[in-house]
Amino acid sequence: MDKLSPSDLKLFLDEKVDQYNKPEFISSDPLQIPHSFHKRQDIEIAGFLTATIAWGNRKSILNSAHKMIQLMDEAPYDFISNHTQQDLKSLNSFVHRTFNGTDLITFVTGLKRLYQSHDSLESLFLGQKNVQLGIHEFKKTFFDFPHPERSEKHISDPLKKSAAKRLNMFLRWMVRPSDTGVDLGLWQRIKPAQLSCPLDVHSGRVARKLGLLNRSQNDATAVKELDEALRRMDPKDPVKYDFALFGLGVFEKF
């Protein structure tokens, strides 16, 4: 593909956003898991836990996410709020790649603590000068209780140079408007303009091919570079281009 002018590139990517930012997208995407709930806390929990295990084959992610929700009796907020120690034992059987039953129990315990003092997870990402610092503070707060050290690797930290792809994806789900029936628009205090693109091997490859990203590593520095490029095209909703980059990479093998 020949190098496009900035205006032609924006036009091309806007068309791809329109193509992929549709309800049909959800049929094969982990986002369908939080979409199956109506209560705010159920949506947040299902979204957060699904995003946490969202690496690898998409079919495998969906199967594991469904199993995780089933282990919580299809009522994640009620389970997290009211579980007994015996209930937690049933989670020991869970495994998705390196995320196992010990990690799931740790996350359920951490979420229970958070919801005892917060109505929504959104407030835990606020109060910082940008969302990436918010992710760093969220991780600190989440793990502020005795826990297995191994579980910490399942929440990435931008201040440790991570692209934090899964949490940026979770934030996109929660924050971007629900007007197309894809993202959920559940949170109002964080604005779409503040979000960062969920950078992974697919979106990174496409972004480099299109000249949006020069850095070779998919890390926090690359996220910042890509954010700047996407904000030049749409400062109010830069992360809508995640649909274009992901769709081109996964569905079109661009």
The predicted-structure confidence for 122-181, as pLDDT tens digits, reads as follows: 999 998 989 999 999 999 999 999 999 999 999 999 999 999 999 999 999 999 999 999
Collapse the DSSP code of 123 into the 3-class scheme (helix H, G, I; strand E, B; otherwise coil) and give the result: helix
User: In the predicted model, is pLDDT for residue 31 greater than 70?
Assistant: yes
User: What does the pLDDT average to over 20-42?
Assistant: 95
Residue whose C-alpha is closest to residue 202's, from 243, 153, 171? 243
**Which range of residues forms the domain containing residue 155?**
6-251
Torsion angle defined by CA atoms of residues 144, 193, 226 and 8, in that order, rounded to the nearest 10 degrees = 160
pLDDT of residue 249: 94
Q: Is residue 1 assigned to a domain?
A: no
Q: Is residue 12 assigned to a domain?
A: yes
CA 208 to chain centre: 22
CB neighbour list of residue 148: distance below 8 Å, 6 or more residues apart: 102, 103, 106
Q: What is the pTM assigned to this prediction?
A: 0.96
pLDDT tens profile 193-229: 999 999 999 999 999 999 999 999 999 999 999 999 9
Q: Is residue 150 assigned to a domain?
A: yes
Q: How many domains does the chain have?
A: 1
Percent of residues, the chain, with pLDDT higher than 90: 94
- Local confidence band at 3 (pLDDT 50, 70, 90 cut-offs): confident
Residue whose C-alpha is closest to residue 169's, from 37, 250, 49? 49
Please name every residue paired with 100 in a beta bridge, in sequence order, or none if there are none.
95
**Distance between CA 249 and CA 239 in Å, rounded?**
16
E strand map for the chain: 95-96, 99-100
User: What does the pLDDT average to over 79-108?
Assistant: 97
**Distance between CA 173 and CA 238 in Å, rounded?**
14
**Distance between CA 11 and CA 152 in Å, rounded?**
41
User: In the predicted model, is pLDDT for residue 2 greater than 80?
Assistant: no
**Distance between CA 136 and CA 11 in Å, rounded?**
34
User: In the predicted model, is pLDDT for residue 39 greater than 70?
Assistant: yes
Q: Is residue 168 assigned to a domain?
A: yes
Collapse the DSSP code of 181 into the 3-class scheme (helix H, G, I; strand E, B; otherwise coil) and give the result: coil
The counts of H helices and E strands in the chain are 12, 2
**Distance between CA 108 and CA 130 in Å, rounded?**
27
Residue 162, phi then psi, degrees to nearest 5: -80, 145
- Local confidence band at 1 (pLDDT 50, 70, 90 cut-offs): low
